[in-house]
Every structure is written in structure tokens, then in C-alpha cells.
Amino acid sequence: MSAAMLQVIGDPVLHSKSPLLHTAMLARLGLELPYTPRVVPKGGLPDYLAWAKAHGVMGFNATMPHKEDLVPLMDELGADAARVGAVNTVCVRGGKLIGHNTDGAGCLAALEAAGLWPRQRVVVLGAGGAAKAVALALAAGGARQVWVCNRTLSKADALAQADPSQVLTAADFSPDTLARLCARAELLVNCTNLGMAGCGQFDSLDFLDALPPEAGVFDLIYHPEETALLSRARQLGLAVHNGLTMLVYQAVLALEYFLDRPLDRRAMARAALEALEA
Ligand code: NAP
């Protein structure tokens, strides 16, 4: 057995910021535990899992294309991973694989750190993987009403039906619907790709005008640092926040799983953010 280590797997994965974030947090904790990226192509999980168990991998993060494929390969699933049907953090304990998903809790932690949580009525834009984790976490975390607005309405419907608390309501992505729901919302969370570097843009951002002045706007995107959505919301005087702290809090939560102990989350997030800004 090799010395203990942590990894992030995916394809592509070499661009991942996880090694930087985790190395900074581990250094702040005074722990000498290597955290390295490893390219694992689609279909390569069985080989990787056997290798990881044999080579002292204590845990690993997973990015595309593995999050759903990991689910049936786990010996145990945490509540978040079971709810979302995707795994992005795996602990290897006594030869057993325990899968977690930090997307939803990471978003809630980032919203809280930004002073945007708790809120009762939330508009979520999108119904993809991130939206599913975020919307279900908002519902489980105490929101009373979460409108899931998506271009493909059937995906929003499926997500709303997956919510046992019935807090989620599916809606379309038309300007009229978005404006009508924004008028009742305290928080808007963008979980679409719209506004991300290299992706499309919203046809119109006029729906933001309908948000009450005390509403907050959170964008999961952090590249660019300020999307057109956040820029317009900021000009309207609304509280805005990008997805960088969500990325950071996801790393903090993953490290808690890997080390199997609670950490000073604010201090860890500070260490990780400092590394990103260096
Ligand atoms: P995904 O599963 O591919 O979902 C993409 C979503 O965007 C879908 O709801 C899709 O709608 C919508 N969309 C794409 N193009 C659109 C368009 N032209 N008009 C309207 N809607 C459009 O992706 P994901 O994994 O959920 O990720 C979504 C975003 O969150 C990405 O930008 C990702 O980088 C970000 N993210 C950030 C963090 C973080 O830590 N900050 C974590 C996870 C994800 P349809 O269903 O109609 O296709």
C-alpha cells in the first residue's frame, strides 16, 4: 500500500482548481497529504476504483463525465448524493466507497456566507445537474417556495416531481413567466450556463426589474467574475454574488468528508480563497 493521498478525477481534469484549493486548506491544517489530478476517461471507473483502493487513496473528487456513473458503484450513499442521483466526493474507508454530493450544501453555505440565506421564496433558473442539487437543497434547507424555470419544461417538471416536500414548482423560461415569478421572489439563483464565458447569453434581462429591492441574485458562474446577469442586478441595487465561494465551500465540505471531522469552515474557505487570488 502506498502513502495516503487524495485525488480529483475526470476527463478533462487538468484545469480543475481542486488541487489548488485542497492543497491550501491542507497546508493551513498542517497536514502533509498530497492531492493530485488524475485523468479517468468515461468507462474507466472500475479500473480506477480498484487502483485507488490498492494505492492508499483516502478519497477523491469527481467531475465530468463520472458524477452519475459513480452512483451504482458506491457501497454507501450520503443523503445528498442519494437525493440528487450524482456523486462528486468519494471517501474510501476500510475498502468501502462512500459517495457524497456537495453541490447543494456548498451553494447553501456560499449563500449564507454572502448574507443571502435563509430565504423563503426562490427562483431557480435551470433544471440541469447543478439546478437539481441546488433546488433540492433549498427545499430541504427550509425554503417555502422554489420555482424551477427551465427552457425545456419537461426537465423542470421531472425535477419538481422528484421533490418529496413539494416545495418545488416547475415553470417555463419565457420573459413573462420569469418577470411574474421574480416579482414574488426574495432570491434568484442562476444555475444555467447562460452568461458563462464561451456560452450563450440571456435574450433579455428585463425580468430582473421585477425583483423586489431587497432581493438577492446569486450566479453559480464565476468565469467571468461578473456575468451580465450580476452586472444588471448590481446596477439595480440588488445584493449580488458569484459562484466562486460555492466552489470553495464545496472543497471545504469535501475535506470534512475526507478527514471525517468538522473543520473551521470560514477559516478553510479563507485559505482556499487566498490561494485562488494569489
Ligand atoms: P447542465 O446539467 O448542462 O445544465 C445546463 C442548464 O442550462 C440546463 O437547465 C439548460 O436548459 C440551461 N441552458 C443551457 N443553454 C441554455 C439556453 N441557451 N437558454 C436557456 N437555458 C439554457 O449544467 P450544470 O452542470 O447544471 O451546470 C450549470 C452551470 O452551473 C454551469 O455554468 C456550471 O459551470 C455552473 N456550476 C457552478 C458550480 C460552482 O461551484 N460554482 C457548481 C456546479 C455548476 P435545458 O434543460 O433546456 O437544456
pLDDT in tens, 179-236: 999 999 999 999 999 999 999 999 999 999 999 999 999 999 999 999 999 999 999 9
The residue segments making up the domain with residue 221 are 105-242
CA distance linking residue 218 with residue 239, whole number of Å: 8
Say whether pLDDT at 2 is over 80. Answer: no
Q: Which of 17, 42, 53, 67 is catalytic?
A: 67
Indicate if 164 and 177 belong to the same structural domain.
yes
Indicate if 75 and 173 belong to the same structural domain.
no
Q: How far is the CA of 33 from the centre of ligand 1 (A)?
A: 33
> Of ligand 1's atoms, which has the minimum distance to the CA of residue 244?
41
Residues with CB under 6 A from ligand 1: 103, 126-131, 150-152, 155, 173, 191-194, 196, 200, 220-222, 243, 246-247, 250
Indicate if 122 and 191 belong to the same structural domain.
yes
pLDDT in tens, 66-80: 999 999 999 999 999
Are the CB atoms for 87 and 81 separated by under 8 Å? Answer: yes
Q: Positive or negative, the Cα torsion across 163, 110, 188, 197? A: negative
Q: How far is the CA of 70 from the centre of ligand 1 (A)?
A: 20
> Of ligand 1's atoms, which has the minimum distance to the CA of residue 155?
46
pLDDT in tens, 33-89: 999 999 999 999 999 999 999 999 999 999 999 999 999 999 999 999 999 999 999
Are the CB atoms for 211 and 180 separated by under 8 Å? Answer: no
Indicate if 224 and 253 belong to the same structural domain.
no
What mean pLDDT is predicted for residues 235-257?
98
Say whether pLDDT at 265 is over 60. Answer: yes
> Of ligand 1's atoms, which has the minimum distance to the CA of residue 126?
9
Mutational test site, ligand 1, from 178, 193, 202, max ligand atoms within 8 Å of CB: 193
Indicate if 79 and 188 belong to the same structural domain.
no
Are the CB atoms for 3 and 56 separated by under 8 Å? Answer: yes
pLDDT, position 132: 97
In this prediction the pTM is 0.96
Indicate if 121 and 227 belong to the same structural domain.
yes
Indicate if 231 and 120 belong to the same structural domain.
yes
By alpha-carbon position, which residue is closest to atom 7 of ligand 1?
192
Amino acid present at 10: G
User: How many domains is the chain partitioned into structurally?
Assistant: 2
User: Which cell numbers hold the place of 76?
Assistant: 454507501
pLDDT in tens, 126-143: 999 999 999 999 999 999
Percent of the chain residues topping a pLDDT of 70 = 99
CA distance linking residue 100 with residue 90, whole number of Å: 6
CATH code for position 51: 3.40.50.10860
Amino acid present at 222: Y
Catalytic annotation present for 67: yes
**Other Cβ atoms within 10 Å of 118 Cβ, number:** 13
pLDDT in tens, 130-177: 999 999 999 999 999 999 999 999 999 999 999 989 999 999 999 999
Indicate if 199 and 251 belong to the same structural domain.
no
pLDDT, position 3: 80
Indicate if 123 and 75 belong to the same structural domain.
no
pLDDT, position 1: 54
pLDDT, position 171: 98
pLDDT in tens, 88-102: 999 999 999 999 999
CA distances from 25 to 16, 22, 249, 267, 275 (A): 16, 5, 11, 9, 9
Whose cell is 465530468? That residue is 64
Indicate if 216 and 251 belong to the same structural domain.
no
pLDDT, position 81: 97
Indicate if 250 and 213 belong to the same structural domain.
no
Indicate if 200 and 112 belong to the same structural domain.
yes
